[in-house]
Chains A and B, each alone.
Chain A
Amino acid sequence: MTDRLDRPVERAVELDAPPEDVWGELADPERLGAWLGAGVDLEMEPGGTGTISFPEGETRRARVVDVEPARRVSFLWWPVAPAVGPPTHVTITIEPTGTGSRLRVREAPSARARAAA
């Protein structure tokens, strides 16, 4: 019963572009915002902080943990409005495939991210 909860949320998508091109969709705040469905004001560098504003009204603060261009980014984000909530840890990885890239996302409550570290 608890087995399912021992893992973070994980999703993946196959993309028709090499990792270097896919990276632009993460590193450029405007392009990142377009697919996140939010206004993004975030510096994609270790320690970078910023704000992500969703059109439904939720605002989250984010802090970049680490960055490996064209390969990996991880950040913490947490809601600050309309109410403050606990942070979760998001890790996005990009790997090359025969036809383009595979992008994976993991999101976990940061208590577990700390436990796994």
Chain B
Amino acid sequence: MTRRDARVDAVFAALSDPTRRSVLGNLASRESASATELAAGLPVSRQAVVKHLQALGHAGLVTPTREGREVRYSLTPAPLDDAVGWMADVGAQWDQRLERLRRQVGTRRR
């Protein structure tokens, strides 16, 4: 559970930046892209895009592949499933707790 927690934390940290979310959205719509191609669609430099790609790579969300002189990046969405799973688990826990709270407040009022 905790290893997943750490992965989920890395994913959320990676997704906390709007440029990184744009990069991911862009990669989701194609097989792969170079940093230059990604920068062309964003209001930031190629260097900045490379840094964001490194952060996304650290979270396991993109995988770089060298093709000749170029590095191409593709989306590896598995860590997103962990993050969605975390949100579902935490949401279910709060559903249970808030239902207990509702009953507890009701009992106290009677």
Tell whether B67 is near chain A: CB-to-CB under 8 Å: no
Chain B residues closer than 8 Å to A34, beta-carbon distance: 100, 104
Selected contact of B108 from candidates A1, A21, A105, CB within 8 Å: A21
Secondary structure of the A contact surface, majority rule: mixed
Chain B residues closer than 8 Å to A108, beta-carbon distance: 12
Number of A-B contacts (CB under 8 A): 103
A: which residues have CB within 8 A of B? 1-2, 4-6, 9, 11-17, 21-22, 25, 31, 34-37, 79, 83-86, 88, 100, 103, 105, 107-109, 111-112, 114-116
Range of interface residues on B (Cβ < 8 Å): 35 or more
Tell whether B84 is near chain A: CB-to-CB under 8 Å: yes
CA distance A6 to B15 in the complex (A): 7
CB of A86 within 8 A of CB of B105, answer no
B: which residues have CB within 8 A of A? 1-2, 5-6, 8-9, 11-13, 15-17, 21, 24-25, 28, 77, 80, 83-84, 87, 90-91, 94-102, 104-106, 108-109
